[in-house]
């Protein structure tokens, strides 16, 4: 039997390789760049750990719990909740399941009694199944209005919070995604590995035999039993797992995919003088600004900044936003004295829209290719992990 070929060493490809390796099934993992991790990587810049685009790990993801040694990652958790900009100052909104009576202080400026009742109902329903809550083809935005969450709660918390998760200004992703994330946030924690999100890929990679992994191996042509690498090398296989982002998968399979299925984002990193008062909540910037949110990453995970400094990230959906403008916008909400721009990551295809990949899936099925990648499940680390595991199982059938 020829080794199973896996194309792409993002989290989905690494997960597929891990599953095969555990079963002693030979594989070869082909990655076009010189590093594993795909969209989850970290860089070291002037002593700061910069994740390639601000992202967090949800401790409640089943895939995360099953796939990683969480102790070795030394997870550092955000406080559960967010800071909201209310009457020209930052106010804490903490996870309703953990804040108890403190929530009442936020009535009526942020939340109403009816919102609290609706959240309770939502959480109760999520204990059984989100299926009953979902109406087919309903967007998150429509669902929020149908449920009747108050205008204040929607504009001050839900919409800014979910804009940052979806990277979608208008919350057009399906309501099912909202229910999934709400459960993760209510019951789990958002966290960072002490050494950066890239540690996730490193941990998966470390458990794989290095002779089965090839970096700088870009697949440029693919047929049902053969592929060509950039440079002309040909490789034959019986089974292939295409663990690519949807754009690259579509290109390789000659499927037309409109650019509009992708959601882009830009993350700015600033170094700041060290602040004694630690703040581990995400600051949600009200709608209308080109910035979505910002936070002090080094207050959550101290190693993200060298001693005596702090690291601030700010995220925007505007890929053309310049650092000076981002800093000016940040100054409307934060003391920016002493802040120094470090680096920005503009990522045009950060996430994909749910449900836009039927043509890709049909083409793959007709050619006998197995697909993996977050977009096969849901646009997240959890989706990538689950898709990789399913693809490995399918490749053995």
Residue number, 110 or 257, with CB nearest to ligand FAD: 257
Task: Pick the piece of the chain touching ligand FAD (CB under 6 A) from 17-25, 77-85, 133-141, 382-390.
Answer: 382-390
Task: Pick the piece of the chain touching ligand FAD (CB under 6 A) from 26-34, 81-89, 293-301, 304-312.
Answer: 26-34
38 contributes a contact to ligand FAD by CB under 6 A = yes
184 contributes a contact to ligand FAD by CB under 6 A = no
Q: How far apart are CA 39 and CA 15, in angstroms?
A: 14
Q: How far apart are CA 209 and CA 303, in angstroms?
A: 29
Contacts of residue 266, defined as CB under 8 A and 6 or more positions apart, other chains included, come to: 315, 316, 317, 318, 319, 321, 344, 345, 346, 347
303 contributes a contact to ligand FAD by CB under 6 A = no
Residue of 7, 205, 240, 392 interacting with ligand FAD (CB under 6 A): 7
Q: Which residue has the tokens 């060509």?
A: 228
64 contributes a contact to ligand FAD by CB under 6 A = no
Task: Pick the piece of the chain touching ligand FAD (CB under 6 A) from 66-74, 122-130, 328-336, 371-379.
Answer: 371-379
How many whole angstroms from its chain centre is CA 100?
29
Residue 33 burial by Cβ neighbours in a 10 Å radius (0-12, 13-18, 19+) = middle
Listed in order, strand segments (DSSP E) in 167-318 are 190-193, 213-215, 219-222, 226-229, 234-236, 240-243, 262-273, 282-284, 291-296, 309-316
39 contributes a contact to ligand FAD by CB under 6 A = yes
Q: How far is the CB of 313 from ligand FAD (least distance, A)?
A: 10
Q: What backbone torsions phi and psi does residue 168 show, to the nearest 5 degrees?
A: -135, 115
Task: Pick the piece of the chain touching ligand FAD (CB under 6 A) from 2-10, 136-144, 152-160, 305-313.
Answer: 2-10
Site for ligand FAD in 119-148 (CB under 6 A): none
Task: Pick the piece of the chain touching ligand FAD (CB under 6 A) from 8-16, 138-146, 254-262, 277-285.
Answer: 8-16
12 contributes a contact to ligand FAD by CB under 6 A = yes
Q: How far apart are CA 62 and CA 46, in angstroms?
A: 35
Residue 209 burial by Cβ neighbours in a 10 Å radius (0-12, 13-18, 19+) = exposed
Longest dimension (CA), the chain: 67
Residue 179 burial by Cβ neighbours in a 10 Å radius (0-12, 13-18, 19+) = buried
Q: How far is the CB of 393 from ligand FAD (least distance, A)?
A: 17
Residue number, 28 or 305, with CB nearest to ligand FAD: 28
Residue of 18, 19, 42, 55 interacting with ligand FAD (CB under 6 A): 55
Q: How many residues bind ligand FAD (CB under 6 A)?
A: 36
Retrieve residue 73's tokens: 């990652």
Site for ligand FAD in 231-290 (CB under 6 A): 243-245, 248, 252, 265
Residue 246: enclosing H or E segment and its boundaries?
A: helix 246-253
327 contributes a contact to ligand FAD by CB under 6 A = no
Residue number, 12 or 364, with CB nearest to ligand FAD: 12
Q: How many helices (H) and strands (E) does the chain have?
A: 15, 20
Retrieve residue 103's tokens: 């929530």
Give per-residue burial for 8-18: e unless 16+ CB within 10 Å, then b. bbbbbbbbbbb
Residue number, 33 or 150, with CB nearest to ligand FAD: 33
Q: How far is the CB of 146 from ligand FAD (least distance, A)?
A: 26
Residue number, 96 or 373, with CB nearest to ligand FAD: 373
373 contributes a contact to ligand FAD by CB under 6 A = yes
Residue number, 3 or 306, with CB nearest to ligand FAD: 3
Half-sphere exposure of 311 (CA within 13 A, CB side): 27
Residue of 76, 173, 298, 380 interacting with ligand FAD (CB under 6 A): 380
Q: How far is the CB of 40 from ligand FAD (least distance, A)?
A: 4
How many angstroms separate the Cα of 267 from the Cα of each of 122, 302, 350, 351, 359? 32, 19, 11, 14, 31
Q: How far is the CB of 142 from ligand FAD (least distance, A)?
A: 24
CB 116 within 8 A of CB 96: yes
Q: Which positions touch ligand FAD (CB under 6 A)?
A: 7-13, 30-33, 38-40, 53, 55-56, 218-219, 243-245, 248, 252, 265, 347, 350-351, 373-374, 379-384
């Amino acid at each position: 039997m020829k080794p199973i070929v896996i194309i792409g060493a993002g989290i989905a490809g690494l997960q597929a390789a891990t599953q095969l390796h555990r079963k002693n099934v030979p594989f070869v993992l082909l990655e076009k760049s010189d590093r594993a991790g795909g969209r989850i990587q970290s860089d070291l810049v002037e002593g700061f750990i910069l994740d390639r685009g601000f992202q967090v790990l949800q401790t409640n993801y089943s895939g995360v719990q099953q796939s990683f040694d969480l102790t070795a990652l030394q997870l550092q958790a955000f406080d559960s909740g967010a800071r909201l900009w209310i009457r020209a100052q930052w106010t804490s909104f903490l996870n309703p399941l953990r804040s108890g009576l403190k929530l009442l202080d936020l009535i009526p400026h942020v939340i109403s009694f009816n919102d609290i009742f609706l959240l309770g109902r939502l959480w109760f329903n999520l204990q059984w199944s989100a299926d009953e809550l979902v109406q087919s083809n309903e967007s998150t935005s429509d669902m929020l209005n149908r449920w009747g969450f108050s205008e204040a709660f929607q504009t001050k918390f839900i919409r800014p919070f979910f804009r940052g998760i979806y990277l979608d200004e208008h919350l057009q992703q399906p309501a099912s995604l909202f229910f999934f994330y709400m459960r993760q946030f209510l019951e789990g924690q958002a966290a960072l590995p002490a050494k950066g999100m890239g540690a996730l890929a490193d941990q998966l990679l470390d458990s794989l035999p290095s002779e089965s992994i090839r970096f700088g191996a870009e697949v440029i042509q693919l047929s049902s039993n053969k592929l060509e690498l950039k440079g002309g090398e040909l490789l034959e296989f019986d089974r292939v797992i295409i663990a690519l982002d949807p754009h690259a998968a579509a290109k390789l399979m000659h499927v037309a995919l409109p650019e509009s299925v992708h959601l882009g984002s830009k993350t700015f990193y600033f170094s700041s003088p060290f602040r004694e008062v630690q703040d581990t909540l995400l600051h949600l910037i009200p709608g209308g600004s080109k910035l979505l949110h910002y936070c002090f990453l080094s207050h959550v995970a101290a190693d993200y900044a060298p001693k005596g400094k702090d690291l601030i990230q700010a995220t925007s959906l505007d890929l053309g936003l310049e650092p000076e403008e981002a800093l000016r916008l940040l100054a409307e909400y934060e003391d920016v004295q002493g802040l120094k721009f470090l680096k920005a990551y503009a990522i045009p295809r950060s996430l994909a829209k749910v449900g836009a990949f039927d043509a890709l899936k049909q083409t793959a099925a007709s050619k006998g290719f197995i697909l993996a990648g977050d977009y096969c499940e849901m646009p997240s680390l959890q989706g990538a992990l689950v898709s990789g595991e399913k693809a490995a199982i399918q490749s053995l059938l």
